[in-house]
Structure 1
């Protein structure tokens, strides 16, 4: 069955928000009671699954929803300077021309996503944008999306840069492409057994051809 729908994570996959997010994490450390991570710790975190990172940082689980909300609000001040990953817009345009529907599922806010896409000229490429409220709820959104779009699991593929993206796709029984240019290292991504692991946006079309 050919892939009809390709859905993307946003931060780290379509855009580079690493530096703004790192500044925000440091800025909110005292308020939320966790130590600001050092550069060495950040490099270590890249090799860990998302849930392990939260344990290592030491944020109280009760505070996670509030922290996520504050991060989104703080990011809103930074989004005008955020840029698309080099080569991603051209690849998405090609996929769109070939008849693949494109969408976004993100734990960022929809306003933040639209701020970037409207400035970078990529808004018209996407059929929809779903903003999730939790860090680990993407599989539920994927399941809703499959139902709403009337797609079978084998007609959809998810693209993300973190281990939790792979976990969400597997829970929903859809194929997943992990990208190495985002947050998690190739080592961490490979440990979760994605269907594909790519190093450049141009390889997205190759993955679709491989499925066919």
Structure 2
């Protein structure tokens, strides 16, 4: 039986890293933080979110408000983002090969649906938006319950350390992908079930190796 694939959105399906940096730089001063310089990006990608915020002088308690405002600004500029190179064909191949696909993201359903409509990505069985940044394990559990998916039959696909940590907490297998927000070394340290350094490697895992 093929696993039910649950995808993160930003950084995993869509190339939104640079947009996220742009929006952060536009809003950071309002929340006490400093702007991200290009030379900082590699260093920051090696840090967890709390450590990243400390490096950028943003108090953790201000993060929820920053995220809410960032999502509103994202909506205005979302048409400028592109799918990760090669991912569109892979998603359709997965669907054609009998996989069920869903999206679980902290982004809004509206933002995600606009992107999917723009690029004709009609492959997903559902979109589930969860707002708790550090409660992703609860969001995954909620998705399993809502859509009646056995957690033993789920395979999560995400690009962040918190994705790996959340899945390990509740015993869900995860593919960590390195083309998004967090670095390959940070993800590898968390020991995901699978680590893919390219969309091609991800396709090999599920369409040939899986």
TM-score exceeds 0.5: yes
Unaligned runs of 5+ in 1: none
Pairs aligned (count): 210
- Matched residues in 2 for 1:4 and 1:13: separation? 18
Match of 1:192 among 190, 193, 204: 190
Q: Evaluate the alpha carbon distance shift between residue 57 and residue 127 of structure 1 in structure 2; reply closer, same or farther with a 3 A threshold.
A: same
Unaligned runs of 5+ in 2: none
Q: Evaluate the alpha carbon distance shift between residue 161 and residue 104 of structure 1 in structure 2; reply closer, same or farther with a 3 A threshold.
A: same
RMSD after superposition:
1.7
Residues 107 and 133, structure 1, Cα contact 8 Å, conserved in 2: yes
Aligned position for 1:180:
178
Choose between structure 1 and 2 for higher RCO, CA contacts under 8 A separated by at least 6 residues: 1
Q: How far does the alpha carbon of each residue in 1:135-191 deviate from its partner, in whole angstroms, 9 at most, with x for none?
A: 222211110111222222220000011111111111121110011111111111101
- Matched residues in 1 for 2:143 and 2:201: separation? 25
Aligned position for 2:86:
87
Aligned position for 1:163:
161
Aligned position for 2:22:
23
- Matched residues in 2 for 1:211 and 1:143: separation? 27
TM-score normalized by the length of structure 1 = 0.92
Residues 3 and 208, structure 1, Cα contact 8 Å, conserved in 2: no
Shift of 1:110: 1.1
Residues 105 and 138, structure 1, Cα contact 8 Å, conserved in 2: no
